[in-house]
Structure 1
Amino acid sequence: GYSSVLVPIYLGEMAPASLRGSLGTLTQFALVIGILVADLLAFPFATLSLWRVLFAVTALTAILQLLISGFLLESPRFLLLRDANSPAARDIIKRLRGLVDDEEVEEAVGTFMSADKEEGEQESMITLLGEMTSNPKIRLLLISSLVLQVSQQLCGINAVFYYSTTFFQGVISNPLVGTTILGAVNVLGTWMALLLMDKVGRKTLILWSSGVMFISCIFIVLAFLGYLNKSISLAAMNVYVIFFEIGLGPIPWLIVAEMFQTRYLAAAMSVSSQVNWVCNFIIGFTFPYMNLYLGPYSFVPFAFFLALCFIYSLFVLPETQGTTPDELAGEEPPAEADPEE
């Protein structure tokens, strides 16, 4: 819970604008690699006598993370908010940006300071949310971030991973193999997202992601009904996972750091994370009942929410690539495009 809020904010503050999308996607890349490793570990350890070893892996990973956390750099924005003359912040900026000239460093410092000029004193989340909802343009950004978080979960991706062995019964002799194939495809899809994230607009990727996932859901339902070969359901599920990782996987997290000014960022990320985890719980809890009562139609609700996501993204969702939070909030005119681009 903490990491789902803090990591996107941390990366958003550390990364230059040109790399924010790729570095934000790395969070998702690390998550899907972890899922794949867990799938592979299940082969030797998912037994009645050794299943506790899988829990031990979690503890060992946490210990390793604690040991290497001392190598993390502090956010220069955090340091500059507390001391505008901080030499540590300037040293970190120099190391992160590969700058040599002090004038370039001060220019980067000025960028951080201008972004934080209206940060002011700490205010309660309720106060900040009140301000955000009373401003039409910021309210639209907040609604958009919540729509993407809801769509990320109600598209059904975690139902696929939580209950993947159920889906593959009767399709593959060992359902665990099918789950591992999905995990590998998950990594492949996120790698593709890394290549595309800073070359294609966020809105475009969300449209492709939700659109192709919707079509995949239709094929999955038809295969479950017996109109298509069962192997089609396996292929459609893999396409579904790939296109999730291209758009709806990483973008709902990284786009929050691109949408909101520093003043509102922590509150927006906190609310977005809470909504995401609530929807995650709803899917994890209700899908067995959906599968029981809807049977082969259990992916129809997911297709419905994907269609809504596509429509919202097409007509309402603002593009964040190449913009600043001030521009999106209407407090700064849009930057002119480079005529050579």
Structure 2
Amino acid sequence: MITKHNLSTDSTQQGHDTVLKTHTNSQQLVTGTLALSVFTAVLGSLEFGYNIGVINAPQKIIEADYNATWVHRHGEPIPTGTLTSLWSLSVAIFSIGGMLSSFCVGFISEWLGRRKAMLINNLLAFIGGSLMGLSKLCRSFEMMIFGRFIIGAYCGLASGLTPMYVGEIAPTSLRGALGTLHQLAIVTGILIAQILGMESLLGSEDLWPVLLGLTVVPTVLQMALLPFCPESPRFLYIVRCQEHHAKSGLRRLTGRLEVGDMLAEMKEEKRRMDMERKVSILELFRSPIYRQPMIISILLQLSQQLSGINAVSCTSLTPFCSYLQLFLVERMGRRTLHMLGLGGMCISAIIMTVALALLDSVPWMSYISMLSIFGFVAFFEVGPGPIPWFFVAELFSQGPRPAAMAVAGCSNWTANFIIGMCFQSVAELCGPYVFLIFAALLLFFLIFTFFRVPETRGKTFDQIAANFNQHSAGGMMDMDLDKPSTELDYLGEDSIN
């Protein structure tokens, strides 16, 4: 018979063990295998960013090539409306590809595993890059458009697979810092694309196919390096029940022979999973356990795309802000940084609106406008840029995580597509006051984050999931407070009282 005293003693001992595990994890060093694995994974993020930025610089040259192709086929210049439609399709179909493929992240990552899924996904990038690179030679804008769709499908999968893999292989104490590398690689890819897209480099009439085809370079590099990276130990143990391979992966990633504490954490998570049925996308919304973290994940993704960042073209500053965020995320916490970013963007958007409205009558407002743009982008890279991408991986345990990543990724891509299709029309209607719309949205997301988004810094996946289980019937989660973090701890606290 289990007495209250025994239960209390067990829970107290478990608390001591948790503290010991956290202390051990805090001493975790970045091994060569961990660094290689993270670097290899975020090559997909680099390619994602490259394909976001690569299409903008040579727009006029590519449109001229579309016209030349039309003349070659029909003997007359392309109608203006047709050219506009073809170019809009060339840009928007990238988001459509990402939107559709992001829904497959959960299925593919469970079927193939995280590492093999990234490896197979590179085939899409190779096909898409080849189609775009050869479109001028083949006089086919259809190849260009289809290539953009295929590369968008690649990016949709990469946007889910990369943070999932990095989040699962990273030790708890480094998970936030390593998670920001996904966004850092994205903005670095955008910057590289914009630099190479200059007319003096590859953005010329003859070399723009090379500019688009260069997307296969990180693809080849990632395919060459992935075989040297271990599969996610969490996936191997919790999903595939391969304890031996999971231990081997943990030893390679941590450089430690004794990994029992980490394996114990996975065993507890697997025990919880075995008590649950397989989680589908519909059950994420139906179950009160998952509903709240799912709503949080979706709104965090929307806070990124509906922030107005795509309306501001200024990426030369963003990699440096991302480097700063790399060091801040484990010191200040995810929730704090996200709120700081949202608040800073909201203020910057208001200042930007005022500056643009007074630009004609007050010439020096151009300097205020420029500073507000820099501030807008900098605050984006502090919070809404990187935080949503890896927050989803932290809010869900191993079972529902793939489905949650799929839904969150699709939400991100859908919002991206809507902004891309609608912003120009809204901007023409509202003029400089369009940024007040984004300011209002940013304020809403700031209030939501303050009241609903928990802090996950320093928490294991199991602790985070346990807190949602306990607070699913309540309002705001208290995960950032010194509350018990497992069911046994709650029972133990009751027995003491």
TM tier relative to shorter chain? 0.7 to 0.9
Provide the rounded CA distance (Å) in 2 between the counterparts of 1:60 and 1:209: 33
Separation in structure 2 between the aligned mates of residue 224 and residue 143 of structure 1, nearest angstrom: 35
Q: For the residues of structure 1 that align with 2:207 and 2:427, how far apart are their CA atoms?
A: 30
Structure 2: runs of 5+ lacking an equivalent: 1-155, 471-482, 490-497
Return the letter of the residue paired with 2:468. A
Aligned to 1:172: none
The answer as to 2:197 corresponding to 1:42 is yes
The correspondence for 2:393, drawn from 246, 251, 257, is: 257
C-alpha separation in 1, matches of 2:242 and 2:162:
26
1:218 equivalent to 2:350? Answer: yes
CA-to-partner distance for each residue in 1:4-55, whole Å, 9 max, x for gaps? 1111111111011101101110111111111111111012222333222211
| Number of residue-to-residue matches in the alignment | 310
CA drift at 1:124? 5.8
Q: Does the residue aligned with 2:330 lie in a helix, a strand or coil?
A: coil
Corresponding position of 1:154: 306
Corresponding position of 2:332: 200
Q: Share of identical aligned residues, percent?
A: 38
Which of 201, 222, 226 pairs up with 1:65?
222
1:73-88 alignment runs, 5 A limit: 73-81=230-238, 84=241, 86-88=243-245
* Equivalent pair of 2:464/2:485 in contact (CA under 8 Å): no
The residue that corresponds to 2:316 in the other structure is 184
Q: 1:2 to 1:83 in 2, by over 3 A?
A: closer
Alignment partner of 1:245 is 2:377: no
**Deviations 1:167-190, CA, capped at 9 Å, x for gaps:** xxxxxxxxxxxxxxx322100111
Which among 328, 331, 337 is matched to residue 467 of structure 2? 328
Residue 119 of structure 1: SS of its match in structure 2? helix
After superposition, the Cα gap between the structure-2 partners of 1:213 and 1:114, relative to the gap in structure 1 and judged at 3 Å, is same
Q: CA–CA distance in 2 between the matches of 1:70 and 1:122? A: 33
Q: TM-score, normalised by structure 1?
A: 0.85
Q: Which residue of 2 aligns with 1:134?
A: 287
In structure 1, give the amino acid aligned to 2:307: C
Q: Does residue 11 of the first structure (1) align with residue 196 of the second (2)?
A: no
1:52 and 2:209 correspond:
yes
Q: Report the alpha carbon displacement of residue 277 of structure 1 after superposing the two structures with TM.
A: 0.3
Pick the structure with greater CA Rg.
2
Q: Quote the RMSD (CA, aligned, Å).
A: 2.1
Structure 1 residue 122: Cα displacement: 7.3
Question: For residues 103-149 of structure 1, what are the alpha-carbon distances to aligned partners after superposition, in whole Å with 9 as ceiling and x for unaligned?
Answer: x322221211211223348736245325xx331x5322111111111
Please tell me the residue identity of whatever aligns with 1:39.
Q
Aligned-pair CA distance for 1:334: 2.7
- Aligned residue identity for 2:228: F
The answer as to whether partners of 2:278 and 2:399 remain within 8 angstroms in 1 is no
Which SS does the other structure have where 2:406 is aligned? Answer: helix
CA displacement at 1:91 relative to structure 2: 1.7
Partners of 1:209 and 1:243 within 8 A in 2: yes
- Residue in structure 2 matching 1:308, options 441, 444, 452: 444
Secondary structure of 1:320 counterpart:
coil
Tell me the TM-score normalized by structure 2: 0.59
Deviations 1:265-304 (A, max 9, x none): 1111110000000000011111111221111112121111
Aligned equivalent of 2:252: 95
Aligned to 2:139: none
1:29 and 1:190 in contact (8 A); partners too: yes
Are the aligned partners of 1:12 and 1:24 in contact in 2 as well (CA < 8 Å)? yes
- The DSSP-based 3-state class of the residue aligned with 1:33 is helix
SS of the counterpart of 1:184?
Answer: coil
